Amino acid sequence: MAAIDDLTWDQLNIALGGSGKIAVVAGEVVIKPGVINADTLDAITDPGVVEFCSKLLEAAVRAQATVNQAQATGERLSAFATPVYGGVSNGYVSVTQSMGVRVSVNPATQSVILGTNS
């Protein structure tokens, strides 16, 4: 099998629970933060970016685990690290989420960004 170096929008949408959280509209991928966060967004000045990014990374970890199930060692996508949970403080637990990518050093292909493999 070939190494997996990315996820599809559909794989991420499924990991988010499906139901149109990510869609293709007129040739553009549309990600719906209000649906993902279960919030009503009225203006671009509304908060919710931190929650949205956290939920996207959590879903990417789940999607990565799913696509890696049949992959051999060295071919598995390892771009999305398992979150690291800290201690509880003032009713909150700290969570560190990270992502590892490979970026081409060739100026002609620097826009190519791929996930890491393990």
pTM passes above 0.85: yes
The mean per-residue pLDDT over the stretch 61-67 comes to: 98
Report the alpha-carbon angle 41-50-34, nearest 5: 25
Please state, rounded to an integer, the average pLDDT across all residues of the chain.
94
Is the per-residue pLDDT at 11 higher than 90? yes
pLDDT in tens, 21-32: 999 999 999 999
Coil, strand or helix: which one is 39? coil
For the segment 78-102, what is each residue's pLDDT rounded down to a tens digit? Answer: 999 999 999 999 999 999 999 999 9
Number of other residues whose CB lies within 10 A of the CB of residue 76: 20
pLDDT for the residue 108? 86
Label residue 29 exposed, middle or buried (CB < 10 Å: 0-12, 13-18, 19+).
exposed
Q: Which helix (H) or strand (E) holds 58?
A: helix 49-67
Return the H-helix or E-strand segment holding 36.
Answer: helix 33-37
